[in-house]
Chain A
Amino acid sequence: MIEIEGLTRRFGEVTAVDGLTLTIGEGEVFGLLGPNGAGKTTTVRMLACLISRTAGRARIGGYSIGDATAARKIRSLIGLMPEEAGLYPDLSAARTLDFFGRLYRMPRAARTERTERLLTLLGLWQRRDAPVKTYSKGMRQRLALARALIHDPPVLFLDEPTANLDPEGAKTVRDFLLELRRDKRTILLNTHHLEEASRVCDRVGVLANRLIAVGSPEELRRSLWGSATVVRLAEVTGPVADAARKAGSGDVAVAGNVLTVPVGDPERDNPELVRAIVDAGGQVQFVTESVPTLEEVYLRLLGGRQ
């Protein structure tokens, strides 16, 4: 659905996006992670035909960005939720969606039906006629999401959809994103929130002007950390630690009565590891997989780059 090749944007001497190459499949939810100034918003703006590219090319739904005649078609295919909600304070939610529905040339009946559906799903239907200036931040963010979806676009660009929201507001938006994922809509999600990316995205890319890693959250974790098994015992003795070292495939970390043992293939190596510990006199209480968070992966990727 989205094919990007060598996409580059410079602002004077500053290169905001440098040679981005990426393919996002139909129905895929792709998270773009990166610090402020990493080029995430610039990427979305180029793909939405809002700003031009310096080099490279990209196609959305078969239409090339940068082609003036295709720009209208691309903008019809996409729904954009910018980082700032950017709503009209004096308009109500219903009038806001009606206005944008008209610009997407939706018939009146479709606008009405879609407005009711989206505002109901996002918990705004009861306040549909109140001016936006009376809404809370979370309500505004939800309305901005409804606006991006009014024309039922197959491609959705979400730029920090939960930024600056309280935990409850963020959860509402995140739950809705999971709903959207079930719709098989192609979504490009810019986010700082790594837990959100981990829960919602099929794949993530770490952008720091250049794309420095891409894969599913699980693939990224494994590529950087490998696998490790955490074993909690009644007590860690010298012979038990030695047995774990022999059965594992690297340095064993001991913290209190917990051993963290690197293993090549957990399914193959764990039974042997547990047997070795028990044979050495250890009393095993729990065995779990060591899973680094996406945040740890992200920080290591960016740290490695710096």
Chain B
Amino acid sequence: MNWRNVATIATKDLGILVTRRSVRLSLILLPLGVAIGLPQVARFAGNGGIPAALLPRFLTAFLFFFAVTATILPVAIASYSLVGEKIERSLEPLLATPAADGEILLGKGLAAFVPPIAAIWIGGVVFMALSDQETRARLGHPYFPNGTAILILAVIVPLMAILSVEYSVLVSARASDVRAAQQAATLVVLPSMALYVLAEVGAITLNMATLGVVAGVLAVIDAALAIASRATFRREDILTRWA
């Protein structure tokens, strides 16, 4: 693996992606909306806000929404990165360089992974700061950061983002336009959204043990999808089947 090639491809893709207004907006608005909006729900739900006894459970579930966001944002970028190159027919010249298939895939994956993670982490910090204002007033102490929050932001969010990138690679192999790829890839949101809803209604508790299991399952799925996406992203298949 030549990491210089990986960095060159990732930097080029990032340079192109930040010129796209829709990508820029989604990277800023979604995490920021979640970071600012959900603490307001905690504060004003039913006018008096979420009852103090329920506040920790709801805030943890709200923080888990960043994991849902981690499946949404990379889809937009990875679809542009892969289907966009397919539409422009720019993959063939890239594949004709000495860069290996894995280096190209990893470079593109990093370009789709890094900006969402950075945006989500910034959003997560803002969310925790705003939530702590509320818990200081209602519980008398800050609630974040805690072990659960660190597990969600440092482990679950990256694993979800990797899942999203890998799934997008698989979808992009068959999609012929960016919008179709994005629509097909949004299915990857469903499992994380289901977990979020279950946590909100109290059907599951997002404690360290539950999140540990989720992280383990995600790691296994990520590993399997890594093998599948690597098998999909082969020069021969790209040139003879992707078109």
Residue numbers of A with Cβ under 8 A of B are 11, 45, 48-52, 72-73, 75-76, 78, 80-82, 84-91, 95, 99-100, 102-105, 144, 147-148
Whether B146 sits at the interface, judged by CB under 8 Å, is no
Cβ-neighbour of B235 out of A50, A81, A90, A95 (below 8 A)? A50
Q: In whole angstroms, how far apart are the Cα atoms of A211 and B96 in the complex? A: 25
Q: Is the CB of A90 within 8 A of B16?
A: yes
CB 8 Å contact bits of B165-190 with A (1 = contact, 0 = none): 00000000000000000000000000
Q: Is the CB of A76 within 8 A of B98?
A: yes
Q: Is the CB of A75 within 8 A of B93?
A: no
CB-CB under 8 A from A76, the residues of chain B are 98
Q: Is the CB of A89 within 8 A of B239?
A: no
Cβ-neighbour of B88 out of A48, A49, A88 (below 8 A)? A88
Whether B91 sits at the interface, judged by CB under 8 Å, is yes
Cβ-neighbour of B91 out of A52, A86, A147 (below 8 A)? A86
Q: Is the CB of B88 within 8 A of A103?
A: no
Cβ-neighbour of B19 out of A85, A90, A99, A102 (below 8 A)? A90
Cβ-neighbour of B240 out of A11, A81, A85, A144 (below 8 A)? A11
A80 and B98 in contact (CB under 8 A), knowing A88-B88, A91-B16?
no
Q: Is the CB of A50 within 8 A of B96?
A: yes
Q: In whole angstroms, how far apart are the Cα atoms of A254 and B8 in the complex? A: 68
CB-CB under 8 A from B15, the residues of chain A are 91, 95
Q: Is the CB of B89 within 8 A of A100?
A: no
A86 and B92 in contact (CB under 8 A), knowing A76-B98, A104-B97?
yes
Number of interface residues of B (CB under 8 A): 25
| Additional pairs, 9, CB under 8 Å, beyond known A45-B239, A51-B239 | A11-B240, A50-B236, A50-B239, A80-B93, A87-B90, A89-B88, A99-B8, A103-B5, A144-B93
Q: How far is the CB of B6 from chain A (nearest CB, A)?
A: 11
Q: Is the CB of B236 within 8 A of A103?
A: no
Q: In whole angstroms, how far apart are the Cα atoms of A144 and B93 in the complex? A: 9
Q: In whole angstroms, how far apart are the Cα atoms of A78 and B92 in the complex? A: 13
Q: How far is the CB of A160 from chain B (nearest CB, A)?
A: 13
10 contacts between A and B (CB under 8 A): A11-B240, A50-B239, A52-B236, A72-B98, A82-B93, A88-B88, A91-B16, A99-B8, A105-B4, A148-B93
Q: Is the CB of B93 within 8 A of A100?
A: yes
Q: In whole angstroms, how far apart are the Cα atoms of A51 and B239 in the complex? A: 8
In order of increasing CB-CB distance, the 9 nearest A-B pairs are: A84-B89, A80-B96, A86-B89, A86-B90, A103-B97, A102-B8, A72-B98, A82-B92, A75-B98
Q: Is the CB of A84 within 8 A of B99?
A: no
Whether B95 sits at the interface, judged by CB under 8 Å, is yes
Whether B28 sits at the interface, judged by CB under 8 Å, is no
Q: How far is the CB of A97 from chain B (nearest CB, A)?
A: 12
Q: Is the CB of A147 within 8 A of B239?
A: no
Q: Is the CB of A104 within 8 A of B98?
A: yes
Q: Is the CB of B239 within 8 A of A86?
A: no
Cβ-neighbour of B92 out of A75, A84, A95 (below 8 A)? A84
CB interface residues, B 183-231, toward A, < 8 Å: none
CB-CB under 8 A from A86, the residues of chain B are 88-93
Most buried by A among B15, B19, B89, B96: B96
CB-CB under 8 A from A87, the residues of chain B are 88, 90
